[in-house]
């Protein structure tokens, strides 16, 4: 188990485009393991590789339904929209309302190199979109709806 340092705020690596993973070797497996441990340690629901300083198209997500590892994820379907509050481990203390698809289907590879598709709705759809944005150098603050008042339940 190894916790990696989470890059924060104005760190320029957060603005770079991550590269596709061509070969899932021991280093990629170690990265996946460390990202999982780092996400749980930080009590986040998702973490993308650039957040730990690695420009590779890898993300981990767990919205309370179990760990999902995504290598080279792409959104192949999206529908609906939903505005809800969002935050980010790289932007501590910040949050805001972001509009995301209500439902997405993501195609990715798992750590064994097998391609799979996974459907996410609501929070899981939001987490997928947020993490995939990270792989393209996009932060949620780019998409915040200014002065939007969320109904607090
Ligand atoms: Zn984030």
pLDDT level of residue 153 (50, 70, 90 thresholds): low
Report the predicted TM-score, pTM, of the whole model to 2 decimal places.
Answer: 0.96
Question: 118 - beta bridge partners?
Answer: 106
CB 68 within 8 Å of CB 129: no
Expressed in angstroms and rounded, the spacing between residue 153 Cα and the centre of ligand 1 is 23
Q: How many whole angstroms separate alpha carbon 23 and alpha carbon 51? A: 21
Structurally, at CATH architecture level, domain 12-142 sits in Alpha-Beta Complex (3.90)
Measure 54 CA to ligand 1 centroid, in angstroms.
Answer: 14
Average pLDDT over the chain, rounded to an integer? 96
**What would the pLDDT profile of 43-84 be if each residue is shown by its tens digit?**
999 999 999 999 999 999 999 999 999 999 999 999 999 999
Burial class (CB in 10 A: 0-12, 13-18, 19+), 139: middle
Q: How far apart are CA 34 and CA 130, in angstroms?
A: 20
The stretch 9-31 carries a mean pLDDT of: 97
Catalytic, 131? Answer yes
Instruction: Determine how many CB atoms are found less than 10 A away from the CB of residue 71.
Output: 23
Residue 148 has pLDDT above 60, yes or no: yes
Angle at 5 between CA 22 and CA 42, to 5 degrees: 100
Question: What pLDDT does residue 150 have?
Answer: 79
Alpha-carbon distance of 84 to 77, in angstroms, equals 20
Break the chain into its structural domains and give their ranges: 12-142
Q: What average pLDDT score do residues 6-16 get?
A: 97
What is the model's pLDDT at position 149?
83
Confidence of residue 124 (pLDDT cuts 50, 70, 90): very high
Q: In this predicted structure, what is the pLDDT of residue 152?
A: 62
Span 91-103, average pLDDT: 97
Residue located via tokens 């590269």: 19
- List CB contacts of 39: < 8 A, sequence separation 6 or more: 45, 46, 47, 60, 62, 89
Q: Which residue among 69, 78, 85, 131 is the active-site one?
A: 131
**Percent of all residues in the chain with a pLDDT value above 70, rounded to a whole number:** 99
Distance 140 CA to ligand 1 centre (A): 7
CA of 42 to the centre of ligand 1 (A): 12
**What is the CA(139)–ligand 1 centre distance, in A?**
7
């Amino acid at each position: 188990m190894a916790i990696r340092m989470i890059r924060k705020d104005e760190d320029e690596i957060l603005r770079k485009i991550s590269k596709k993973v061509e070969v899932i070797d021991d280093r990629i497996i170690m990265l996946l393991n460390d990202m999982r441990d780092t996400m749980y340690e930080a009590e986040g629901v998702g973490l993308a590789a650039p957040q730990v300083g690695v420009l590779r198209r890898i993300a981990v997500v767990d919205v309370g339904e179990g760990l999902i590892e995504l290598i080279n994820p792409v959104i192949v379907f999206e529908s609906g929209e939903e505005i809800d509050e969002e935050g980010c481990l790289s932007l501590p203390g910040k949050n805001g309302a972001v509009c995301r698809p209500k439902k997405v289907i993501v195609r990715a590879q798992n750590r064994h190199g097998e391609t799979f598709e996974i459907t996410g709705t609501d929070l899981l759809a939001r987490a997928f979109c947020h993490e995939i944005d990270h792989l393209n150098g996009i932060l949620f603050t780019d998409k915040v709806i200014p002065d939007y008042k969320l109904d607090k339940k």
